[in-house]
Structure 1
C-alpha cells in the first residue's frame, strides 16, 4: 500500500503522530500498515483523538467530515495513511 504513495506523506504522518501523541520517533518509524492504533496505543485515548484530527486537518490541509470518522479510520496505521492519502487525492 505505501509503495504507491508519496514517501513524504508517510514520513509526514509518522512525524505528526510522534508529535501529537508524544511518541518516540523510532517507535513510530517501526509502525507497519498492520500496526493497531486506537485501543492499542495508550497515548491515543479518546482525548488525544480530537487533537489528532485537528492536527491532521491543519497539517494536510483537509476538513474531516463527521460521516468520515468511524472506528476503521484509526484501526491501523495503514488505514489512517490510506485515509490521508485519499483526502489528498492519492487514491
Structure 2
C-alpha cells in the first residue's frame, strides 16, 4: 500500500479539494496553509484514517505538528500502521 497516495486521496476527499491534493509533495504545508483544513476537518480526517486504515487514534496522540505537512501526516499514519 502506498501510504502517501492514500493520505492524499483522503485529504482530497475530506477537504473537497477537487483533485488538488494529487500535486502535493511530502513537503507541502497543511495546517495554517490550506484554509479548508480547520478543526472540524482535522476530526473528519482522523475518522477517515481510522476507517480506511483500521487503527484507532487516541486524543492524546493528536498534535498540531502531526498536521504540519503531508510528510508529517504520512509519517503518523505509517507509525500507526506499524503499531
Give the TM-score normalised by the residue count of structure 2.
0.90
1:83 aligns with 2:76: yes
Which whole-Å CA distance do the structure 2 matches of 1:53 and 1:9 have between them? Answer: 15
**4+ residue segments displaced more than 3 Å:** none
Aligned to 2:48: 55
Alpha-carbon offset, residue 70 of structure 1: 0.6
- For 2:15, the equivalent position in structure 1 comes to 21
Supply the RMSD in Å over aligned alpha carbons.
1.4
Residue matched to 2:39: 46
Write 1 or 2 for the structure with the bigger share of helix: 2
Aligned residue pairs total: 83
**TM-score, normalised by the number of residues in structure 1:** 0.83
Q: C-alpha displacement at 1:9, in angstroms? A: 1.7
Give unmatched runs, 5+ long, in structure 2.
none
Q: Rg: which structure is higher? A: 1
